């Protein structure tokens, strides 16, 4: 049974930092990508960042480049998202997701990811 569990969200002032974690279990992630998506109230789910588990290739949304860093710990099967210089527009529920298809490049499309966590709320106050 696949489990994906996010943690680390919270309330932070603009300019602050948070680190999200995603503990994954129940399947092999080594040949696939894992990603962070976010969804704000009334908005569509949005790609944030992704990493290829095997070679650590990464992809970022333009809106977070230079501020967010995605990483993984192979030994712990855990995905991270370090978020710096947070802005009020970063406020959303952040979801971790795992791809089950080995693709030549990292997908940024939410419907191509199969294993989703419940999400963790990030709120950035101005």
pLDDT at residue 68, as a whole number = 98
pLDDT at residue 74, as a whole number = 84
Flag residues of the chain having pLDDT under 50.
none
Question: How far from 27 is each of 6, 23, 30, 84, CA to CA, in Å?
Answer: 17, 12, 9, 31
């Amino acid at each position: 049974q696949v489990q994906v569990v996010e943690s680390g969200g919270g309330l932070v002032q603009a300019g602050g930092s948070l680190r999200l974690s995603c503990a994954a279990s129940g399947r092999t992630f080594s040949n696939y990508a894992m990603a962070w998506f976010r969804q704000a109230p009334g908005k569509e789910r949005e790609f944030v960042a992704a990493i290829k588990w095997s070679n650590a290739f990464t992809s970022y949304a333009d809106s977070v480049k230079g501020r967010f860093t995605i990483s993984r710990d192979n030994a712990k099967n855990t995905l991270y998202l370090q978020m710096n210089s947070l802005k009020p527009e970063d406020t959303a529920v952040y979801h971790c997701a795992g791809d089950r298809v080995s693709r030549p490049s990292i997908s940024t499309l939410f419907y191509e990811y199969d294993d989703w966590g419940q999400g963790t709320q990030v709120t950035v106050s101005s």
